[in-house]
Structure 1
């Protein structure tokens, strides 16, 4: 609902309460220690001042007692705010401290303004107190309405105890109403600005989170094959180049396996590409479940996969290749209820410990080994050391 350009549903929502609480406690921690020196100054200025009348004597006594009470009150409040600032888990105590601080400030403002009526019609303390509370602290609109309405009621009653002139009494009550109304408007304006800033901040954080998710997604897509979820050709090439240098430096062997599903084109031609895609995904999942965390598995196009085995010699590489071949033959015999009898041919190439080699040379050798496996009858492993 909008009234006067203000979205009251937004302004009264409680979602900003934690931020509001933190803001108010921080302001209280800063403001409360400033009050005791001011109270001491007032006590010093009024202490020992000779009274010219009974009303003035009562006024001096009331002012000194009020400021002495405020001195003690704000001193304890400053200590409490400092203590609670270090204990964020004390939510109820934090809220209680802020509430007591606000009510105490307004109560003292109404009290001193009423005491002043013994010698003057001035109600400046009420104006100062209401303005400070409206500007320093954040109040939800309904809370601000209740707070300043209560302050006005207290002031109207208290001033009736000290102001005997009917005209001045009416004038000051009307002025008190104006002060509380202005303070309430200031509090609403403060809250509206606070909600606007917090909403903008929340939108920025949401947009930032979405941007980070999109960047992560784009980074993933840049390095992974979208169908199988495995590394793509470019990312795999970078990993192999790095691993070749590391293997040479650490004097470790390394194997590269190139895998190709046998007669895959016939599956696409006979059953369609959707089934072919499911075959690719299931093959990728099976292969990924059989390799080590230190190995790198990629799909480099169509039905071709490559597997890098760091710290693995020719004999170990052949064992891994046979394990993969057997699992494909056994576990991918049926796909989606269809008897496909999938098999895989694997070309294996190994480099000896400390042997220098480029990715292009290693890739070409594994491709030749795969060609040999295909032309030797398929569903087999062909592997040789790199010369």
Structure 2
């Protein structure tokens, strides 16, 4: 399932990276104090292996913080997941190295630190990440500290922590994804017509407002013969017809153009940066596709026409969408009466 990137997910990712930056900064400071031997926090005469582990850990945590910094700045980037995995790898290697060397050379009990790597992996990569971290840390401890009496604790507690934290993280991620999908569905419903799937008035108004002051062509469309389809074949057939009109409108527009439904059998098409020639060209395309027969089921077909009214806004003009729509509405009714006048 594709991950939906919205504000709530990006906020969660930023929180994770912030927590990582803070915790590693504390880790760098604590490790530096430990390696200095200036306090009772650590033995005054560290072995060469422990000194190496400490300085490697400081470097690894610093690199992880650099990655976290860039991941926090761009939580929606396609590189976020690889960056996250890299941080888990560096954190795991740092903690495993410290635990193994301290277990071999000092009487301190440090293996509970391995749980931290499992929790970090669970937070970032859910159950799969937690189990992978548990497998790596447990295997490393068993192989590299073979004489430790704590093997059963490392495996038992590590596995329980992996399952608990991984399952909780997976459940939270699933809940978050469900909420994201619900929010997107509500946003779509609020901005789109349920019958045709086209943008509604609100979305059209927002689209036009974003282009205030720029060149804009507005085409108002009104179907000819739609009422007869409803009267003869029923409203279900009329709904099928409207849906098909929405599909056809989207099919003839250029990238950046927008078609929406105002209601009933009226549609509005917005053409940014379009002049009269382009508006006329799009209008001709629309007339051509609208008049093609529409299959309404049971082998029945209906045909409708369309009247098109055009309004143009020049660059620098402050004409609103409502004003342009009213102008296009006047032109549309002139287009609708034109055949009768000709007759």
Query: Aligning the two structures, in what range does the TM-score lie when normalised by the shorter sequence?
Result: 0.5 to 0.7
How far apart are the structure 2 equivalents of 1:359 and 1:370?
16
Structure 1 residues 245-267: Cα deviation after superposition (integer angstroms, max 9, x where no partner): 414xxxx5x43221122212332
Partner-residue secondary structure (3-state), 2:196: coil
How far apart are the structure 2 equivalents of 1:241 and 1:32?
56
Q: How does 1:180-199 map to 2 (within 5 A)?
A: 184=153, 192=160, 196=164, 199=167
Q: How does 1:317-336 map to 2 (within 5 A)?
A: 317-330=279-292, 332=293, 334=295
Contact conserved, 1:105 with 1:133, CA < 8 A, in 2?
no
Shift of residue 232, structure 1, vs aligned partner: 0.4
Task: Please tell me whether residue 220 in structure 1 is matched to residue 217 in structure 2.
Answer: no
Contact conserved, 2:244 with 2:294, CA < 8 A, in 1?
no
How far apart are the structure 1 equivalents of 2:89 and 2:190?
50
Per the alignment, residue 34 of structure 1 pairs with 34
Shift of residue 224, structure 1, vs aligned partner: 1.4
Per the alignment, residue 235 of structure 1 pairs with 203
Q: Cα gap change, 1:323/1:215 in structure 2, threshold over 3 Å: closer, same or farther?
A: same
Aligned pairs, how many?
A: 276
Per the alignment, residue 246 of structure 1 pairs with 213
Q: How does 1:12-161 map to 2 (within 5 A)?
A: 31=31, 34=34, 37=37, 71-85=47-61, 86=63, 99=96, 101-109=98-106, 125=107, 129-130=108-109, 132-134=110-112, 136-138=113-115, 143=138, 150-152=147-149
How far apart are the structure 1 equivalents of 2:104 and 2:218?
82
Per the alignment, residue 209 of structure 1 pairs with 177
Q: Cα gap change, 1:354/1:370 in structure 2, threshold over 3 Å: closer, same or farther?
A: same
How far apart are the structure 1 equivalents of 2:331 and 2:41?
95
Per the normalisation by structure 2, the TM-score is 0.60
Shift of residue 300, structure 1, vs aligned partner: 0.7
Task: Please tell me whether residue 307 in structure 1 is matched to residue 269 in structure 2.
Answer: yes
Task: Please tell me whether residue 298 in structure 1 is matched to residue 260 in structure 2.
Answer: yes
Shift of residue 74, structure 1, vs aligned partner: 0.7
Per the normalisation by structure 1, the TM-score is 0.55
How far apart are the structure 2 equivalents of 1:41 and 1:361?
75
Could you tell me which runs of 5 or more consecutive residues in structure 1 were left unpaired when the two chains were aligned. Answer: 1-22, 45-66, 110-124, 153-179, 381-387
Partner-residue secondary structure (3-state), 2:47: helix
1:281 to 243, 255, 268: 243
